[in-house]
Amino acid sequence: MSRRRIPCFDEPPTLSRRDFLQGSGALLGSCLLAPAGMAWAASPILALDFRGSIPSGVSYRRASPASLADGAQLRTLPPNTPRFPLRQGKPLGLLIEGAASNLIANAARPDRPGWSAGGGVIVAAGTDLAPDGSGGAYRIVRPEPKSGSQCEVTVSNAPSGDFAAASVWLRSTAGSGKWRLRLLDFTTYNNVSAVVEVGPEWRRYSLALNLQARDIGAKRFAVLWNEPIAAATAAPAIYALKPATPYLSWRTPLTLGSVLMWGAQYEVGNEASSFIATTGSAGQRAADEVTIPAAPLNASAGRLTIVLPNGGRRGGVILDAHGDGGGLRLAYSNSGWIVAQVGRVVLAGFGDVTADPVIRLEWSAAGVQLFTGATPESLTLQAAVKTNPLPLACGSLARLGMLADGQRPLGRVLAQLTLSGEVATVAQAVRPNFTPAPYRLVFGDDFDDPDLTRINENATGGRPGAPAWRSRYRHERRTAINQEKQIYMDPQFAGTARQPLRVQPFAIRDGILQIRAERADPVAVSPFVWNRAYTSGCITSELTHWQTYGYFEMRARLPRGKGFWPAFWLLPKRATWPPEVDVFEASGTRPYAIKHGVIEKPRSATTPGGMWIEQIIDISDGFHIYGMEWSRDNIVYFIDGKKSFEYGPHGIHEDMYLLANLALGSHDPNWIPDPDPTTPFPGMYEIDYIRAYQRGAS
C-alpha cells in the first residue's frame, strides 16, 4: 500500500476485527498508545482553566439570552453571562454554543395557534411548574375517550439542511413509562421516531431527522401520541403520551396520571441546542464568541492539550486559528473522526472519537501527531505524519468552539486548554485490520500499479498485485438497467462511431482508483452512445475472480450530489439474476446513510432483505471501510469495523464475482433522483483497495 497518499497511516497491525470490536473506545482508530509517563510541561506556554470562570486573557461574548439546564431545572441567563454546567455540584467547564433558532412558534404556549391536539384541547397543567419555574406546563384534554389522537406542531418555515432536530421537555405525574415521539416531512413522509423513558422529573428529549434532498415540505413534530387513560365516565378524559408497549386502554384508571409537556423546539442541525424561548414568533440565539490570543500557537514546537469533559461533537470545531490560511485548526469530521490542520499539513484519525474527553495535538519540524483518550496520561495515537508543517500563521486571535463564521459550533463544555513546548518523537500511526483471523487474501487490488490498460472489455493484461477488471456488465453496454441514465465507458469503446471515443472514466493517482461520472459531450460522445447524457465507469471480476463464501472489503470515499449511485456488490458466475448481494449502495442525496441488502428468490431469510443504515458516517468526508462476511448461514455487514446489519439464513451457495460501479439516476426518484443542473460533476467514486478473503490456511 502506498504511503504517499495516506500520510497518517501505515501498514495494518495484526489486531483482528473481532479483537478490535471488543476493545475499549480508546482503541478506536489505532492500537499505538502514548507512554504513560508523558505529562504536561511544568511551565506551559499557555494554561487556561474554564471550570467555573473565564480565565484571564480570554474574551467571552454572547449578544442574546441563553438557557442552562442544571439537572431538572432550567435557568435563563442574560446576554454575555457564561454558562458553567455542573456535575455533582461542581462546574465542569464553559459551555460554548453556536447560533440557533427555534422554528416552532409559540413553543412555550402550545395552547396557541399552530398546535393540534387531535380534536381535543391543550390546557395549562395548573400547579405543575415548567422547567424554568413558570406555570407553563401543558397537557391535552378531550371530552370523550378516543384512541389514536395526537398532539403535534407544524413548522412551515423550515430551511433546508442535512439534518433537522426536534426536542421537548416531558414529565410524568405518576411513575415512569416508555413513550413515543416523531418528526416527519409531511410531503415525503420521511420520518424518525424515538421511544423515550419518561420519569417523574422534567427531562428534555430530542431526535434528529436525516434529511434527503426531496424533503422540502413542512415538518411536523408529533410531540404527543396519545391514548385516553381515564375511565369511561362523563368527566373529561386526560390524554397522555402513547406508550410504545403496551398501549393504554381508555378503561385504564385515572390513577395512572398524565404526562406533561413544555418547550418544544425545532432547528437545523444533527443535535438539539439549548432551549430558546419564543413568544409568538421564531426565536433566535446568537453564537457564543470565545477567543484567546493566537500568538503562542505560532510556536515552532508545541503540545496542545484540550479537555472536553462531555466529549466532542460530529462536525464541531474545537479551535480555529486562521486554519485556512496556514494556521491551526482542530475539529471533528461529520463521521466523528478527529481532524487537524497545522500549517501545510492536514491529518485525520479513524473512527468516531467524539466520546473521548482529551485531545492532544503535537507539532514540530519533525511532523505532526494527534491523540485522543480518557486522560492526558493515557492517550491513543490517532494520526501522525512526518512532514514539516512550519511556519505557522495563526493570526492574532484563535476562536474556541466554532469557526469564525459561527456555522459549525462545537456545542460542548470546555474545561482546560494547555500549550507547552514539550513534544514527543513523532510516532508511526497504524490503521486497524478488520479481517477475521481465519481468513486469507485470495484476490485484491490496492491500485498501487497505475496501469489502466488492465481495465478493459475482456479483462486482459492483469499481473500479480494488479488484476485485470472487466469494464462493463455481462450484457451489452447500451442495455440500461433500473432506468439508469449513464453508459459505462472505457477508452476503446466506440459505440456507433467508426473509432474509439477515447472516453476515460478511470484514473489512478497516489494509489487511489477514481471512477468518474461526467456529462457526455453532446457532439463528440452522446450521439454515438444512444444519446446517453452521462458517462461513467464500472469494474467487475466476472472474468478473473469468483468464489463461494468469504470476507469482502473495500476502502472508499463516495460522492455527494443529486443522481450519484455508487455501489459495491456481488453477482453469480452463472448468467442469472437473482441472487445479488450488496455490500453497500449509497445515494448522493443521502450522504449520512448506507444501504446493505440481499436479493434472492425464493427468499429464505427471517430478517429484512435490506436496510438503510443511518447517521453512522458521512460517506464523503473520508475513506471508510465497508466489509461483508458471507458464510453458509448468514451474511454480516460492517462499516468501519462495526457490525451494521445481518441477513440470514440465506440460500446463496454458489460462486459470485465482485462489481464496483457509479450509476446516475434510477427508476425511483425518491431514492436515486436523476442528475440536474445542481449536480456537482465530475462525480468521483474513489477506491483505495478492494479485497476478497477465504477461510483456511494459505
Domain ranges (residues) in the chain: 17-76+289-420, 101-285, 442-695
Of 61 and 127, the one with more pLDDT: 61
The answer on pLDDT for 16 being more than 70 is no
| Highest mean pLDDT, choosing among 40-49, 75-84, 206-215, 582-591 | 582-591
pLDDT at 13: 30
Q: What confidence category does residue 402 fall into, taking pLDDT thresholds of 50, 70 and 90? A: confident
Q: What is the DSSP string of 43-80?
A: S-SEEEE-SSSPPTT-EEE-SS-EEEEETTEEEEE-TT
Q: What confidence category does residue 158 fall into, taking pLDDT thresholds of 50, 70 and 90? A: low
Cis ω on the peptide bond leading into residue 579 (within 30° of 0)? Answer: yes
pLDDT at 224: 59
pLDDT at 684: 98
pLDDT at 698: 56
Catalytic choice (152, 362, 484, 585): 585
The answer on pLDDT for 666 being more than 90 is yes
pLDDT in tens, 337-362: 999 999 999 999 999 999 999 999 99
pLDDT in tens, 641-650: 999 999 999 9
pLDDT in tens, 244-260: 333 333 333 333 346 78
pLDDT in tens, 558-571: 999 999 999 999 99
Of 100 and 622, the one with more pLDDT: 622
Q: Which CATH architecture has domain 101-285?
A: Sandwich (2.60)
Catalytic choice (580, 614, 646, 686): 580
The answer on pLDDT for 240 being more than 50 is no
Catalytic status, residue 585: yes
- The CATH code of the domain at 17-76+289-420 is 2.60.120
pLDDT at 234: 33
Name the average pLDDT for the chain. 85
Of 553 and 103, the one with more pLDDT: 553
Give the mean model confidence (pLDDT) for residues 278-303: 85
The Cα 58–Cα 459 span in angstroms is 63
Query: Position 162: which residue type?
Result: D
Give the mean model confidence (pLDDT) for residues 433-445: 94
Give the mean model confidence (pLDDT) for residues 121-125: 80
pLDDT in tens, 507-518: 999 999 999 999
The answer on pLDDT for 280 being more than 60 is no
* Nearest Cα to Cα of residue 281 among 411, 476, 104, 432: 104
C-alpha cell at 204: 428534555
Report CA-CA distances (Å) from 564 to 401, 614, 679: 34, 18, 9
The answer on pLDDT for 443 being more than 60 is yes
pTM (2 decimals)? 0.87
pLDDT at 3: 30
The Cα 71–Cα 552 span in angstroms is 47
Domain 442-695 part of CATH 3.30.1220.10:
no
pLDDT at 404: 72
Q: What confidence category does residue 379 fall into, taking pLDDT thresholds of 50, 70 and 90? A: very high
pLDDT at 7: 31
Give the mean model confidence (pLDDT) for residues 139-168: 72
pLDDT at 152: 84
Residues near 425 by beta carbon (within 8 Å), at least 6 away in sequence: 366
Residue 534 and residue 517 in contact, taking contact as beta carbons nearer than 8 Å? yes
pLDDT at 396: 95
* Nearest Cα to Cα of residue 695 among 441, 443, 467: 441
The answer on pLDDT for 226 being more than 60 is no
The answer on pLDDT for 117 being more than 80 is no
The answer on pLDDT for 484 being more than 60 is yes
pLDDT in tens, 23-73: 222 222 333 333 333 343 457 899 999 999 999 999 999 988 888 887 778
Give the mean model confidence (pLDDT) for residues 651-666: 98
The Cα 578–Cα 580 span in angstroms is 5
The answer on pLDDT for 371 being more than 60 is yes
The answer on pLDDT for 217 being more than 90 is no
Angular region, 52: left φ>0, alpha ψ -120 to 50, beta rest = left
